[in-house]
Structure 1
Amino acid sequence: MMKQKFQINGISCGGCIARVKKTLEEHPNIEKAEIFLAPKGAALITMDEALSVADLQKQLDRLNGYTIIEINQ
């Protein structure tokens, strides 16, 4: 299992966090998604196997208005 840091743009409230978390965690390879309001949109995603940012974006596209980028550790 691996944890990776990302930045999710479009997060503005707790409701956004709940929706994005639920959507990401619906992916079979995502164990856990932790998303923060401070710093806004910071995300820590625990995966069973490495997913590309494109894979994660595709999952997020089920919702409108969010983009994800990788943060260099």
Structure 2
Amino acid sequence: MKQKFQIDGISCGGCIARVKKALEEHPNIEKAEIFLAPKGAAIITMKENLSTDELQKQLNTLEGYTITEIN
């Protein structure tokens, strides 16, 4: 299942690589696509639905990023 999110704190390709790696380490995340245009837009493919709080916990391994769901 794919869901759209906004990840604040993304400013460059290096940010994208770090955030993608951190998210994809979660066992229920199959794929994380993160974009610079629009900045911080993300499509996350999950095996089972994860809450925004669970995704934020996964991102908390890094500093300076916050994730919100886009409806």
TM-score range, shorter chain: over 0.9
> Which ranges in structure 2 are unaligned for 5 or more consecutive residues?
none
- How many angstroms does 1:5 deviate by? 0.1
In the alignment, structure 1 segments of 5+ residues that lack a partner are none
> Aligned residues, how many?
71
Task: Note the alpha carbon deviations across 1:26-59, whole angstroms, 9 max, x for none.
Answer: 0000000000000000000000000000000000
Over the aligned positions, Cα root-mean-square deviation in angstroms equals: 0.1
- Amino acid in the other structure paired with 1:53: T
What TM-score, normalized by structure 1, do the two folds share? 0.97
After the TM superposition, list the runs of 4 or more consecutive aligned residues in structure 1 that deviate by more than 6 angstroms. Answer: none
- How far apart are the structure 2 equivalents of 1:31 and 1:23? 12
Measured against aligned partners, the alpha-carbon deviations of 1:4-30 in whole angstroms (never above 9, x if no partner) come to 000000000000000000000000000
